[in-house]
Amino acid sequence: MLAALAAIFGPALLPESAGEVTRNSFLAPSREHFFGTDLNGRDLFYRVLLGARISMLVGVTGALVSFAVGIIYGMIAGYVGGQTDSIMMRLVDTLYAIPRLIFLLVLISALDPVLRHTMTTHGLQGLIGYSKILILIFCLGLTEWLTMARIIRGQILSLKSQQFVLAARSIGQSHFNIIFQHLLPNLVGLALVYLTLTVPAVILDESFLSFLGVGVQAPLASWGLLLGDAAQVINPIKGYWWLLMFPVIAMSLTLLALNFLGDGLRDALDPRQRK
């Protein structure tokens, strides 16, 4: 919660000059610049908060995309069953076999020019700088849903043979009502737990892609982009340690908190964990 509040409100509370390019390059941490400054003389504390905003935005929205796709796909496969279930799960197995990083790189490279051209055609030039963020959300969401689909499908296979589902069928309830009134409420807790554990995975993927230079682009910032910038200037002769240390600490603490949140939700929502 603290990380989310800092990401949302932190940059707005700092002076506008914190994000401006100055001649004060590579200043060490001080009272004036808590985290020091970067290559372009920008306040690193401001950049870390801005990076938190973008990284968490991509992480949460990308996880929500995977949540929606995975839960719908898994429910259809598990509820319909038979040959349909077999075909759908073989597709999941095939997608699992594709190297995810290569798939992401190809997908991002293919979609970015198309999205930029579409924005230009429809007079949305102001959004072109955010095209990579939109593509990352879409692409990462489409690669993280596979495990969710398998989990939901397994739960549906178990639940649809329970007495309450058989009773609903016997009184003539439609498939739509059975799925959304009886099956889905029993899946929400498990799905939410996995959702909280998907957010750190999406953040890590985004950070890695941005570190490689195919994710978020300057002048925007994400934790991966900050680490990539730090890697370019750190050397054995002159080590600007703060450029690497503070983004790493911010990202590590956030991912640790999200994993603790997922574990806490699992314990709270799993009846077998209750005493």
Q: Which residues pair with 37 in a beta bridge?
A: 43
Q: How many residues does the chain have?
A: 275
pTM value is 0.84
Owner of token pair 């001080």: 30
| Local mean pLDDT, 10-residue blocks, the chain (275 residues) | 75 77 85 85 89 88 89 89 89 85 82 82 74 82 85 87 82 82 82 85 87 79 87 78 89 87 73 50
Q: How far apart are CA 108 and CA 192, in angstroms?
A: 28
Question: Is the CATH number 1.10.260.40 carried by domain 2-11+32-273?
Answer: no
**Contact residues for 99 (Cβ-Cβ < 8 A; gap 6+):** none
Q: Are 136 and 215 in contact (CB under 8 A)?
A: yes
Question: According to the model, what pLDDT value does residue 249 have?
Answer: 92
- Phi, psi at residue 37, to the nearest 5°? -125, 165
Task: Tell me the domain boundaries of the chain.
Answer: 2-11+32-273
Question: According to the model, what pLDDT value does residue 269 have?
Answer: 65
DSSP line for 199-232: HHHHHHHHHHHHHHTSSS-TTS--HHHHHHHHHH
